[in-house]
Amino acid sequence: MSRIRIAPALALLVLIALSAPPASASTIEDYADYQPQSKCSPRAKPGTTYLGETVVKRFGGGFGPISRPCSSGGTSEHKEGRAFDWMLDATRKRDRKKAHAFMDWVFATDKQGNTDARARRMGIMYVIWNDHMYSAWNQFDPEPYLSSSCKSRKKCSTTLRHRDHLHISLTRAGGKGRTSWYDGRMPQG
């Protein structure tokens, strides 16, 4: 019977490879920069759809629009299929609880000490809800929000104030489902 001899360096590499945690468990995306709409491709991207379905299944609420027509005004990640509107009502206590539970979930620190871990892994650029914006480039700290289409909150619609939905915008990689959170979750196609 012959024995296979493995060089010590190769054996060490095999041992390291077998004992290392999966890349998705050890690496995390940086806080996202703003990636505004640069073209119009409104078909829902797979990561956006998957994230929306996950949020509604986990927390309740309604699955709102992802896509917006190219002919609608302004710049929007909806026009690239990478923004999701989660239908909640800020005047209802149970919907506010759902929104806060979601934000606690995505902005939680993971076991490795990574702040805002799920949001970063999902490719979330920003969340807008109930007159506040939580942006990755500001480490998701809440800031007062007023749509550029509004002169004041008093004269601004419920929709533009994001009081009838919670808006989630994703990076291009997040929209495509190509960030560490999606690894092994989405069907390959």
Q: Tens digits of per-residue pLDDT, 38-91?
A: 999 999 999 999 999 999 999 999 999 999 999 988 899 999 999 999 999 999
Comparison of pLDDT for 148 and 57, the residue scoring more? 57
Whether residue 14 is predicted with pLDDT greater than 80 in this model: the reply is: no
* Least reliable range by pLDDT among 6-15, 112-121, 175-184: 6-15
Whether residue 12 is predicted with pLDDT greater than 50 in this model: the reply is: no
* Least reliable range by pLDDT among 8-17, 122-131, 159-168: 8-17
Q: Tell me, what's the pLDDT at 5?
A: 56
CA distance 16 to 152: 59
Phi, psi (5° rounding) for residue 50? -65, -45
The model's pTM: 0.84
Region 153-181 average pLDDT: 95
Q: Using a pLDDT cut of 90, give the percent of the chain over it.
A: 78
Residue type, 90: A
Q: Tell me, what's the pLDDT at 15?
A: 42
Residue type, 121: R
Q: Tell me, what's the pLDDT at 8?
A: 53
Q: Using a pLDDT cut of 70, give the percent of the chain over it.
A: 85
Whether residue 11 is predicted with pLDDT greater than 80 in this model: the reply is: no
